[in-house]
Amino acid sequence: MVREVRLDNDRSFDALMRLADCWQQKWDRRRHLEWNFTFAVWAVFAVAFVCASYGARLPLALPMLIFLAQAYIVTQIRLQNDRDGRVVLQLRREAEAIAHRPQTLPEQSGQQCRWRRVVSAVTHYSTVAQIAPTAFAALVLTQNLWNAGVQ
């Protein structure tokens, strides 16, 4: 049997703020993981450049596959971060309503459809800062591999 528990305002406020902090920590951990993954991808490209410069035969599609995998993963992480940000914002709004303070957080616009969230995630500055150098490295490495195969 499920029992409904009613909390007073102080306990409700504390509970909502703890939940918001928990969601914020998830967001922070995911951002840390996202950048570690991006640095690992860049390290793989550096190793591939060194290997290609010493004459190693690497698959021509390898740079593009790495780029596509990185772009997909970073975009998915950004979408999850956006969701967590909305949850944190809602929890803090509810906590402010309990505390009877005026709302200082900006109002959230209506729900966006899935493709608009994806476009927003891909064009976000932190996503672009990770994907653009990877795309450049993938193109340069592909060109180097192509030229090595032609000669």
Q: What pLDDT is attached to residue 1?
A: 47
Q: What pLDDT is attached to residue 108?
A: 53
The H-assigned helical ranges of the chain are 9-53, 62-98, 114-122, 125-150
Q: What pLDDT is attached to residue 136?
A: 85
Nearest to 49 by CA among 151, 139, 150: 139
Task: State the residue for tokens 């950004």.
Answer: 78
Task: Render pLDDT for 52-94 as a digit per residue (tens, 0 to 9).
Answer: 888 788 888 888 898 899 989 988 988 888 888 888 888 888 8
Distance, in Å, from the CA atom of 129 to the CA atom of 106, rounded to the nearest integer, reads 26
Q: Record the tokens describing residue 84, joined without a space.
A: 């967590």
> How many CB atoms are closer than 10 A to CB 81?
20
pLDDT bucket at 134, cuts 50 / 70 / 90: confident
Task: Render pLDDT for 85-130 as a digit per residue (tens, 0 to 9).
Answer: 888 888 888 888 877 655 555 555 555 566 666 666 667 777 778 8
Distance, in Å, from the CA atom of 132 to the CA atom of 136, rounded to the nearest integer, reads 6
Distance, in Å, from the CA atom of 112 to the CA atom of 115, rounded to the nearest integer, reads 8
Nearest to 12 by CA among 135, 114, 118, 95: 95
Distance, in Å, from the CA atom of 44 to the CA atom of 46, rounded to the nearest integer, reads 5
CB contact at 8 A, 30 and 84? yes
Length of the chain measured in residues: 151
Task: State the residue for tokens 């959230």.
Answer: 108
Distance, in Å, from the CA atom of 110 to the CA atom of 96, rounded to the nearest integer, reads 21
- Mean pLDDT of the region 12-27: 83
